[in-house]
Amino acid sequence: MNTILDQKHIMLRVEKKHVENQTHATLFFHHALCFKPGQFIMVWIPGIDEKPYTISFHSKEKFAITIEAKGIFSKKAIAMEKGDLVGIRGPFGNGFDIKSQGQKAVVAGGCGMAPLAPLVENLDKDTIFIHGARTREYILYPDRFKIERLFCTDDGSFGHKGLVTDLLEKQITSGKHLDMVYTCGPEIMMYHVFKICEAHHIPCQVSLERYMRCGFGVCGACVCGRQVVCRDGPVFGSAALREMKDFNTKALLKSGKEVALSQYFSWRCK
Ligand SMILES: Cc1cc2nc3c(=O)[nH]c(=O)nc-3n(C[C@H](O)[C@H](O)[C@H](O)COP(=O)(O)OP(=O)(O)OC[C@H]3O[C@@H](n4cnc5c(N)ncnc54)[C@H](O)[C@@H]3O)c2cc1C
């Protein structure tokens, strides 16, 4: 667990920017970060704000974050260039519980690929890897992985036309035995992945997003039911999800007001 002493920002310069598509960019930093796939950092752009971002790439001396442009902070972040300065705190959160044995599946939706990417790089080659996006253009990291990916897009421009859950169901009904499913993406997608897993008695790990401020369980901004997402999550297993009434239903806005999840994620409809 991070102590109060870990809360000082480390100031880092952007080493490289990779533009993924119109709305996503990956920023690389030359810094050795002790990290577990699924953990996140708080990223501070001086004069703008501080926001949570998952680590999307990790090596001994480097790490990266992948940003989807939504509002003021993220638009500023994807506009950053080599040499620009950010502060980071963390990593925070639990990360994925990486099982050493058994058949695994990874189900990614859109920018949910970001926390799953370093996980995939730690899993066996026979892992079933499903990735969905709006269109071909929004498939993140097209050439990155050694593991074969099953693609789907909303418009059919790449891979199966339809949902990641179609592909997951197909794997299961065709007789594939799964011992663990890891997922990240829009919450409604993760909810349906969880429901499929429950129906087939497959344990599942889901990476949740809620409005975060402190990153280490003090402020309470990110509570989801009885869980504090930054401290107890962001990755939750099947047992916790069964008890979590706010999963796919409610979330707290920045103001602390409880709203329907559709309102919390209203930026998706813009
Ligand atoms: C654990 C965690 C990991 C994340 N990892 C990534 C990632 O790898 N890539 C990525 O693009 N995004 C990630 N996000 C979401 C990212 O933090 C928000 O997209 C970002 O804060 C948007 O800020 P904004 O000013 O651009 O948008 P705003 O206009 O302020 O908000 C747009 C939406 O972003 C979300 N958001 C805004 N502020 C916060 C906050 N402080 N905490 C959580 N969500 C917020 C809300 O859904 C909000 O409706 C992550 C969020 C969490 C909680």
Asked if 112 and 130 count as a contact pair (C-beta separation under 8 A), the reply is no
Q: Is 52 in the pocket of ligand 1 (CB under 6 A)?
A: yes
Q: Which ligand 1 atom sits nearest the alpha carbon of residue 266?
A: 49
Burial bucket for residue 80 (CB in 10 Å: 0-12, 13-18, 19+): middle
Q: For residue 267, what pLDDT is reported?
A: 67
Instruction: Verify whether ligand 1 is closer than 6 Å to residue 70 (CB atom).
Output: yes
Q: Which residue has the tokens 């594939």?
A: 176
End-to-end Cα spacing for the chain? 37
Asked if residues 218 and 239 have their Cβ atoms less than 8 Å apart, the reply is: no
Sign (positive/negative) of CA torsion 240, 244, 250, 253?
negative
Could you report the per-residue pLDDT of 206-215, keeping only the tens digit for each? Answer: 999 999 999 9
What's residue 266's pLDDT?
84
Task: Give 100-123 pLDDT, tens digit per residue.
Answer: 899 999 999 999 999 999 999 999
Residue 51 CA to ligand 1 center (angstroms) comes to: 6
Q: Is the CB of 72 under 6 A from ligand 1?
A: yes
Q: Which two three-digit tokens encode residue 242?
A: 């069964």
Atom of ligand 1 nearest to the CA of 212: 42
At what angle are helices 164-173 and 187-199 packed, to 10 degrees? 10
Sequence ranges of the domains in the chain: 4-92, 96-198, 208-270
Out of 1.10.1040.10, 3.40.50.80, 1.50.10.10, 1.10.1660.10, the CATH code matching 96-198 is: 3.40.50.80
- pLDDT digit string (tens) for 6-30? 568 899 999 999 999 999 999 999 9
- Identify whether 91 is preceded by a cis peptide bond (ω within 30 of 0): yes
Percent of the chain with pLDDT over 70: 96
What fold characterizes domain 4-92? Elongation Factor Tu (Ef-tu); domain 3 (2.40.30)
Q: How many angstroms separate the CA atoms of 34 and 25, rounded? A: 23
DSSP reduced 3-state for 103 = coil
Q: What is the structure's pLDDT at 6?
A: 57
pLDDT tens digits, one per residue of 26-53: 999 999 999 999 999 999 999 999 999 9
The Cα–Cα gap between 67 and 74 comes to 6
Q: Are 96 and 113 in contact (CB under 8 A)?
A: no
Per the CB < 8 A criterion, the answer to whether 118 and 56 are in contact is yes
Q: Is 40 in the pocket of ligand 1 (CB under 6 A)?
A: yes
The DSSP bridge partners found for residue 66 are: 26
Report pTM: 0.96
Spacing, Cα 267 to ligand 1 middle (Å): 10
Q: Are 91 and 35 in contact (CB under 8 A)?
A: yes
